[in-house]
Structure 1
Amino acid sequence: MSPPRLLVIEGNTAEARARQVSFGGEAASEGYARLLRELFPDAVTDICYPADAGANLPDSGGLEGYDGIAITGSSLNIYNRDPAISQQIDLLRTAFATGTPVFGSCWGLQLITVAAGGVVRKNPRGREVGFGRRIRVTQDGAGHPMFDGKPSVFEAMTVHLDEVETLPEGARLLASNDHSVVQAAEVPVGKTMAWGVQYHPEYPFREMAAIFRRLSPSLVAEGFFQDEDEQAAYIADLEKLEREPANHALVWRNGVDGAVISKDLRTREIRNWVYNQVIPTRTRRGRG
């Protein structure tokens, strides 16, 4: 029997990936693929780069050969619709016709939304960064398998300027907070069921620290920090949380809860997708 196969769609251009690495982070797809291998050790995990010029992208037959497709975050703005974006939309629309389960984080949710006919806009409240606060599971989200084992109110690592304004027809809103109404959604489209979240359950603290370094001038200018020294102290806290997640003083000072500190709870949405979407679909297709 063939091993399970997963595909990670990288949302960033090569230039953006290199910039993140230069600040001590990693390409979003590399981190996502590593987490999926931890959650699904038997799986073969591939990465594709549709934002790159000349990328060799799978067709519908190739996409149907995967048991699940995960989409990373991205520094792109989907309403700009340049080739790096339109290629991703086209790829996902092809995937929708295959019945292969899809999960998207941040940009991934936005890409799912637009490819399925919804609308994404620049958030009038500005950037949400660091920790998305008091994300609340909706009535439709309560009891939904994406949030099995997750608190009904939680914090999550996040960074985004854009948000979903209008969900596609037939979608269900699963979680919200005061910054963005759409923090999680289920989107049935074509033969495919897609799940998406506006935050980043896949990120470790060290990746968020690298993002803060990369965004440094902007975050001070936007008023998140008074000066670069204050931001440096915050980044140091994030890096220390990576090493010492049980440090009570750090947890208290940053106002975060167990849903962020515990890796099991932080990544629960992706784990639930694997066990409630990927594995059952693989079984129905006679592969498991």
Structure 2
Amino acid sequence: MSLRLSTVILPVHRWHEGGRERWRRAEELGFHAAYTYDHLSWRTFRDGPWFGALPALTAAATATERLRLGTLVSSPNFRHPVTLAKELISLDDISGGRITLGIGAGGNGFDATALGQEPWTPRERADRFGEFLRLLDRLLTEAAVSHTGTHYSADEARNIPGCVQRPRLPFAVAATGPRGLKLAARHGQAWVTTGDPKLYEEGTPEQSVEALRGQVERLGKSCADTGRDVAELDKVLLTGFTPDRNTLLGSVDAFVDFAGRHQELGFTEIVIHWPIPDSDFATDQAVFEKIATEAPGQLA
């Protein structure tokens, strides 16, 4: 299978001041998909512009025709399955069935406390994520859902006419731990990773590749345990968080070398950040666009 190349466009630009043009340009450059982060604010961007993911994707859907669109990733931190399902069905309809939901357990960043709650423990995040994902799966595939859970409930929630994509829009489940990988195996059409966060500061590219190899192997075991062929899942690497993050977009050759090594591990899609000057994602725009247009042909 040829390796797909996608991008992630952070929601930091006003729509009429460069926002729309970036999504249109992503389609022109031939990216498989363009995603955005689903946060209320994020890291070093917290004190600057940051727009909502689903409204931004809705606008992007009307500005593009072929490009797949999605979140990388949504989480339970500030969302509820019932309201999220309604918004996703609407977005899937507006886009003509071009939406992928990237979804994960969330973390302990700003989103975790923005609604005034105490941050959840890792165990509680995992518990909530499992219940959230199972209920969301039902809400997107059944016309009416009632459910009483530990953390989330629904009372005859209606979702008619359902998704354009059948039986529902695809889930790309972000996970590295055993419980999350089991959810990816059971509910996902794709699996997402950013690598091993313990290697971010002082790890080597070689260590990162081995860590990712281990994650892919554990995903395969989780799939086997649930009676599923791991080949059914796309395997998505969101770049920017591995030890070679500062060099992989330096040239077409550097990226092709990076992507080829990860394609050998079984990854089917690699996602690179749209350049943002004066940030961790500052990349030469011309080189970025050259990678977008030239690298896929070398990775077929």
Q: TM-score range with shorter-chain normalisation? A: 0.3 to 0.5
**Larger strand percent:** 1
